[in-house]
């Protein structure tokens, strides 16, 4: 076996691996991926999406109800979410208000906030049950 002489050789080797026929997912997986892709295409919005803002994000039906506590709470929650997601490796500019406002447009992030709230509530409930038991 020859050792990759440098980073470029290593990257070339990685691309060979990426493109190798033997590394291609099997037919069943490819069929599932094709189906997933078709469903995604079918889910394309037919109208231009509304730009999410702090106000609209808190509207009924959008899963960020608990952000209604105010901008400070939302900002703190966003930073905490980033801290959790990145194991403490929070980008410095994430601590700036402008950057936080931009993140309010990140639907995936907002969904994560709701997820974290749900997990916290679930774990709190579990502890309550454990203490009561």
Partner 1 sequence: MTTATELNSFLVGVEQKAYRMALMAVKNQADALDIVQDAMLTLAEKYAHKTAADWTPLFYRILRNRITDTHRSRQRGWRRFGPAAAFDLDGDADDADPIAALPAAPMSAPDARSELDATTERLAALVEGLPQRQREAFLLRAWEGLDVAQTASAMGVTAGSVKTHYSRAVHALRAGLRMDEVPSGHE
Interface with partner 1 (CB under 8 A): 1-4, 7, 10-11, 13-18, 20-26, 29-30, 32-33, 36-37, 39-41, 43-45, 48-49, 82, 85-86, 89, 91-92, 107-109, 112, 115, 119, 122-123, 126
Tokens of 38: 């078709």
CA distance 102 to 115: 20
Question: Shortest Cβ distance from residue 78 to partner 1 (Å)?
Answer: 12
Which one, 69 or 86, has the nearer CB to partner 1? 86
Cβ neighbors of 57 (< 8 A, separation 6 or more) are 64, 67, 104, 110
In the complex, least distance from residue 98 CB atom to partner 1, rounded to whole angstroms: 17
| Cβ-contact 107, 45 below 8 angstroms | no
Among residues 114, 116, 57, which one has the least CA distance to residue 84? 116
Q: CB of 15: closest distance to partner 1 in angstroms?
A: 6
Cβ distance to partner 1 smaller for residue 48 or 72 = 48
* Closest CB 108 distance from partner 1, rounded Å: 5
Q: How many CA atoms lie within 13 A of 109 on its CB side?
A: 24
């Amino acid at each position: 076996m020859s050792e990759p002489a440098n980073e470029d050789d290593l990257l070339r080797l990685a691309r060979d691996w990426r493109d190798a026929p033997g590394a291609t997912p099997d037919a069943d997986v490819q069929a599932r991926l094709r189906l997933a892709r078709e469903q995604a295409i079918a889910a394309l919005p037919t109208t231009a999406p509304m730009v999410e803002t702090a106000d609209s994000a808190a509207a009924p039906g959008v899963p960020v109800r608990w952000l209604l506590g105010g901008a400070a709470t939302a900002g703190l929650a966003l930073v905490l979410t980033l801290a959790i997601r990145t194991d403490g490796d929070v980008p410095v500019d994430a601590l700036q208000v402008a950057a936080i406002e931009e993140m309010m447009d990140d639907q995936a992030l907002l969904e994560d906030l709701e997820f974290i709230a749900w997990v916290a509530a679930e774990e709190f409930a579990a502890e309550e049950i454990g203490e009561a038991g």
